[in-house]
A and B are shown apart, each in its own frame.
Chain A
Amino acid sequence: MATTKRKPPKTWSLLGDVKRRPSTYEVTAAKFNYHFRREPAPFEMDPAAPINLWYLANREGSPFNVEDWEGFRDPARMTYSDYVTVQHDRETYLDAVIDHHEAADSVTGLDPAWVEALTRIAVPLRFPLHILQMTALYVAQMAPSAYIINCSNFQAADEMRRVQRLAYLTKMLANAHGDAIAETATARSPWEEDAAWQPMRRMLEKMLAVYDWGQAFAVLDLVVKPTIDELVNVQLAALAERNGDDLLAQLLAEFHLDAQRSKDWTIALAQYALASDPALADTLREWVDEWIPAVDETAEAWAALLATAPNALPSGQVVEAAGRARAELLAACGL
């Protein structure tokens, strides 16, 4: 065969004359997002086709842009294969946690007052957590490089993981304490109607309508998600422990590992952007500040909801912790 006779390439030609041999992580992500800043338009359609205009306005036209997004790296350097391998192990662990509690029938032994509190607090959570999944997929489809896309896709999958394990727990509670716990209305009605849930629902529905990609990233990953992760994975876990609910506490602690991975790439992305253009600190800060009243209101409503449970946490702790978690994240980002 007339195979081309030339010097064997060191790597993909688009990566240039590299000194270090790129990793598997890099050769399966670098420059995959060929349509970012493509001329005359992102997609091979009429340059004025509606979706071309959408991307030009909300991605290329976002104030949150740097000269080169291809330099960003996920601190976990995760490929798809890494992701499913890591999560396969973590899910094996969670299966074992559930096996243990099923063998001990620990859900049956929970205090009925705590079960009643869980029905109001934990059962409706699959609705807001599903919105975090949706929004992560928006950030992913709009992000300028595959390195960012992959992080946000894996984050969306993590959100689905959390929703599904809480769904399983809901069914365990229903089997032990009454079928009504697993009815859709038991979750949806408070989510749609109860005053305690409305600040969170208002915030999340409004987040769904944020379409500038940088703003969607900032609202989801710098403000909303870190707050909800703290309120759910940490504060609800603390409350569960006080009520002898080790199963829920262990599940939530596991989800917090996922949340930490999301924080890591979020911080890395913000730092990368600010290093490229320090003026972006103002852009991000403006978006963050705009959403702080909504997250504060959400945290207060959530704290009030947690306070209705037995063995409630010291008053003020929940709101303060949510504020602290957000402040720490923003500080780590350099904001």
Chain B
Amino acid sequence: MPRLSRSEWYDLTRDMNWDLSYVSEDEAFPPVLSNSFGVPAHDWWVWDEPYKITYTEYVHNQAGKDAGVYSVNNVLNRSHIFDNLEPGWKAAVIAHYGAIAVAEYQAGIGEARMGRFGRAAAWRNMATFGTLDETRHGQLQTYIPYQALAKEPRLDWAHKAYHTNEWGIIAARHLFDDMFTANDAVSTAIQLTFTFETGFTNLQFLGMAADAMKAGDFDFGALIASIQTDEARHAQQGEPTIKVLVKAGKADVAQNLLDRMFWRAWKIFALLTGLSMDYYTPVENRTHSFKEFMEEFINKQFIDTFRDFGLEKPWYWDQLLNEMNWVHHAYHIGVYFWRPTVWWNPVAGVSPAEREWLEEKYPGWNESFGKYWDVMGDNVRNGHPELTLPETFPMVCNSCQVPVCTPAGYAAGYLDSPLPHILDFEGRRYTFCSEPCQWVFEQDPEQFKGHLSIIDRFLGGVIQPATIPGALEYMGLSPEECGVDGTDYAWAGPVIPAEKSA
């Protein structure tokens, strides 16, 4: 081993900051790709990454980590482990791959943006590692489902999803493009690496890896745990970026970027992880409810992190705490009801034991959300499962792109009104699911105003024919790909009193 320790020479790998002479700062760092928010060039040079690593260490570590994940996968491919997974866990894993695999690869573009347009050499180096990391995550999370493609054709969505206009993917693209592919380098550091990776995915991956192991999915568990170790490193680009902004008297800029993306991330997190934790993960394997997870990991730990930097809780905190009680339950009913519009097979997750767990974690669940399931259960038990399927589409939020669920929040007693939020702006009417979603839109209308939600497209004639089959085709879902009940309605069986059985 070379004799000099990293600390003796590391600074020489990161001091390549100089004054431009032959082009202007804006020519080399155009604001659209690198918004300095008015912080002078030299003030960025103190940018100091908390996690140091050299190229040599990186390739040594990563070669070992990759070999580990691929060897677990090689062993498990010869087993029947995938066939034996619970239907709910399969739904969670198939949803995850579709929403996340190619998106992580695209995060490499966001990292490359920081690697080119980050405003300090040290930052650009960290982002270069981040670019490699995200290439790894995109490739691993397509390679592993690819190995199981013959067993589960739905895993095709690990690759195909982002080429489609499936509504959940539109929502995910809208989030991730705003967060990194269509974002500038400084905002990306705060919104992707700090808000999303430090605040959400880093913790989510820890939780999901543990759940995977409990569910017997060692392949997914090893994958997610390995990815998390990369995220923990490259997520640390946000902190020094915030420090530079705060030191320059721009804490309000950092706070605004954080608040916008924290809410956006919450909505998609509730949709993907909320369903996964409270309905798809087998009840005996659950370590906590989604709400408990949010309270402990996101709200408590993450708040401590950003308070350390002089930032505060977002202004909409009470609304977040309110939504944590109900919004993912509403999303789950929506996803289940509109299951032909998703690429996985949703499970209802409301058998008696599961309902008992839900009631314990969310007191009042049976009286509110349970009632919808009572009706769907009756329809199934009476031999009319077709009545549990949709004939129309819901209104979709023009910010988060997720169906507006305010009526369910109102009916459950959490909202004062079932109505959505409406904004008339430059001659167009926009619909929002919540006040923070409207606020996000209003922070940067240039980014959002000309975008059409899937319902705007449906009503505006972009989707032809404007029928449910026409819309499913537009979403890239062939009849055999449309989601069906993951347990063949087994959930409705046990609760049926014998005399009502059809």
Given A43-B181, A184-B15, A205-B22, CB of A13 within 8 Å of CB of B156: yes
**CB contact between B177 and one of A1, A44, A98, A135 (< 8 Å): that residue:** A44
Q: Closest CB of chain A to B425's CB: distance in Å?
A: 12
Whether B112 contacts A80 by the Cβ 8 Å rule is no
Against B, the Cβ 8 Å flags (1 = close, 0 = not) of A97-131 are 01100100000000000000000000000110010
Q: Closest CB of chain A to B346's CB: distance in Å?
A: 11
**CB contact between B132 and one of A11, A153, A170, A209 (< 8 Å): that residue:** A153
Given A4-B154, A27-B146, A156-B115, CB of A209 within 8 Å of CB of B28: yes
**CB contact between B149 and one of A8, A52, A150, A170 (< 8 Å): that residue:** A8
Q: Which of B206-214, B296-304, B480-488 interfaces with chain A?
A: B480-488
Rounded to whole angstroms, the CA-CA distance of A92 and B136 in the bound complex is: 21
Q: Closest CB of chain A to B6's CB: distance in Å?
A: 10
Q: Closest CB of chain B to A136's CB: distance in Å?
A: 9
Whether A209 contacts B23 by the Cβ 8 Å rule is yes
Against A, the Cβ 8 Å flags (1 = close, 0 = not) of B1-42 are 111100011001101101111110001101011000000000
B108 within 8 A of A: yes
A273 within 8 A of B: no
Given A1-B87, A137-B116, CB of A45 within 8 Å of CB of B447: yes
B121 within 8 A of A: yes
Given A153-B132, A168-B9, A171-B9, CB of A146 within 8 Å of CB of B105: yes
Q: Closest CB of chain A to B455's CB: distance in Å?
A: 15
B102 within 8 A of A: yes
Q: Closest CB of chain B to A119's CB: distance in Å?
A: 13
Give the contacts of B249-305 with A (CB-CB under 8 A).
none
Q: Closest CB of chain B to A24's CB: distance in Å?
A: 6
Q: Closest CB of chain B to A26's CB: distance in Å?
A: 10
| Of listed A48, A49, A92, residue having the most chain B CB within 10 A | A49
A69 within 8 A of B: no
A274 within 8 A of B: no
Rounded to whole angstroms, the CA-CA distance of A4 and B479 in the bound complex is: 11
Rounded to whole angstroms, the CA-CA distance of A14 and B63 in the bound complex is: 30
Nearest B residue (CB) for A55? B182
Given A2-B484, A45-B448, A46-B446, CB of A127 within 8 Å of CB of B113: no
Rounded to whole angstroms, the CA-CA distance of A13 and B177 in the bound complex is: 24
Given A163-B13, A164-B13, CB of A84 within 8 Å of CB of B451: no
Contacts of A242 in B (CB 8 A): none
Rounded to whole angstroms, the CA-CA distance of A303 and B307 in the bound complex is: 54
Which size class do A's interface residues fall under? 35 or more
Rounded to whole angstroms, the CA-CA distance of A31 and B105 in the bound complex is: 11
Rounded to whole angstroms, the CA-CA distance of A40 and B73 in the bound complex is: 39
Q: Closest CB of chain A to B27's CB: distance in Å?
A: 4
Against A, the Cβ 8 Å flags (1 = close, 0 = not) of B53-89 are 0111011101100110010000000000000000100
Rounded to whole angstroms, the CA-CA distance of A38 and B208 in the bound complex is: 33
Rounded to whole angstroms, the CA-CA distance of A187 and B121 in the bound complex is: 14
**CB contact between A47 and one of B18, B124, B131, B450 (< 8 Å): that residue:** B450
Nearest B residue (CB) for A7? B153
Q: Closest CB of chain B to A130's CB: distance in Å?
A: 4
Rounded to whole angstroms, the CA-CA distance of A209 and B181 in the bound complex is: 20
Rounded to whole angstroms, the CA-CA distance of A8 and B156 in the bound complex is: 11
**CB contact between A44 and one of B16, B23, B28, B174 (< 8 Å): that residue:** B174
Rounded to whole angstroms, the CA-CA distance of A296 and B315 in the bound complex is: 58
Given A45-B448, A133-B124, A160-B125, CB of A54 within 8 Å of CB of B19: no
Whether B108 contacts A153 by the Cβ 8 Å rule is yes
**CB contact between A98 and one of B2, B27, B102, B170 (< 8 Å): that residue:** B2
Whether B12 contacts A44 by the Cβ 8 Å rule is no
A259 within 8 A of B: no
Q: Closest CB of chain A to B45's CB: distance in Å?
A: 10
Rounded to whole angstroms, the CA-CA distance of A171 and B121 in the bound complex is: 18
Whether A192 contacts B18 by the Cβ 8 Å rule is yes
Q: Which of B159-167, B414-422, B464-472 interfaces with chain A?
A: B159-167
Whether B23 contacts A91 by the Cβ 8 Å rule is no
B138 within 8 A of A: yes
**Interface secondary structure of B, over-half rule:** helix
Whether A31 contacts B143 by the Cβ 8 Å rule is no
Rounded to whole angstroms, the CA-CA distance of A42 and B173 in the bound complex is: 11
Given A84-B66, A127-B16, A135-B116, CB of A14 within 8 Å of CB of B32: no
A51 within 8 A of B: yes
Give the contacts of A177-203 with B (CB-CB under 8 A).
182, 184, 187-188, 191-192, 201-202
Rounded to whole angstroms, the CA-CA distance of A141 and B136 in the bound complex is: 16
A149 within 8 A of B: yes
Nearest B residue (CB) for A94? B56
A206 within 8 A of B: yes
B463 within 8 A of A: no
Whether A84 contacts B13 by the Cβ 8 Å rule is no
B109 within 8 A of A: yes
Whether A1 contacts B159 by the Cβ 8 Å rule is no
Q: Closest CB of chain A to B33's CB: distance in Å?
A: 7
Rounded to whole angstroms, the CA-CA distance of A24 and B19 in the bound complex is: 44
Whether A133 contacts B128 by the Cβ 8 Å rule is yes
Nearest A residue (CB) for B56? A91
A283 within 8 A of B: no
Nearest A residue (CB) for B137? A80
Given A28-B139, A130-B124, A156-B128, CB of A2 within 8 Å of CB of B1: no
**CB contact between B486 and one of A2, A48, A182 (< 8 Å): that residue:** A2
Whether A209 contacts B27 by the Cβ 8 Å rule is yes
Whether B12 contacts A9 by the Cβ 8 Å rule is no
Contacts of A126 in B (CB 8 A): 12-13, 16
Rounded to whole angstroms, the CA-CA distance of A209 and B13 in the bound complex is: 24
Contacts of A13 in B (CB 8 A): 156, 159-160
Nearest B residue (CB) for A128? B16
Rounded to whole angstroms, the CA-CA distance of A127 and B450 in the bound complex is: 42
Contacts of B28 in A (CB 8 A): 205, 208-209
**CB contact between B116 and one of A102, A138, A167 (< 8 Å): that residue:** A138
Whether B182 contacts A52 by the Cβ 8 Å rule is yes
Q: Closest CB of chain B to A124's CB: distance in Å?
A: 10
Q: Closest CB of chain B to A131's CB: distance in Å?
A: 8
Against B, the Cβ 8 Å flags (1 = close, 0 = not) of A60-103 are 00000000000000000001110111011001101100110010
Against A, the Cβ 8 Å flags (1 = close, 0 = not) of B461-502 are 000000000000000000011001111100000000000000
Q: List 23 A-B contacts (CB under 8 A).
A: A14-B160, A27-B159, A28-B142, A32-B102, A34-B163, A44-B451, A47-B451, A51-B181, A54-B32, A84-B58, A91-B60, A127-B16, A130-B124, A134-B116, A153-B108, A154-B132, A157-B128, A160-B55, A161-B55, A167-B13, A188-B15, A201-B21, A206-B22
The 6 closest A-B pairs by CB, nearest first: A46-B450, A167-B12, A88-B63, A171-B9, A44-B173, A8-B150
List residues of B whose CB falls within 8 A of some A CB: 1-4, 8-9, 12-13, 15-16, 18-23, 27-28, 30, 32-33, 54-56, 58-60, 62-63, 66-67, 70, 87, 90, 102, 105-106, 108-109, 112-113, 115-116, 121, 124-125, 127-128, 131-132, 135-136, 138-139, 142-143, 146, 149-154, 156, 159-160, 162-163, 170, 173-174, 177-178, 181-183, 345, 446-451, 480-481, 484-488
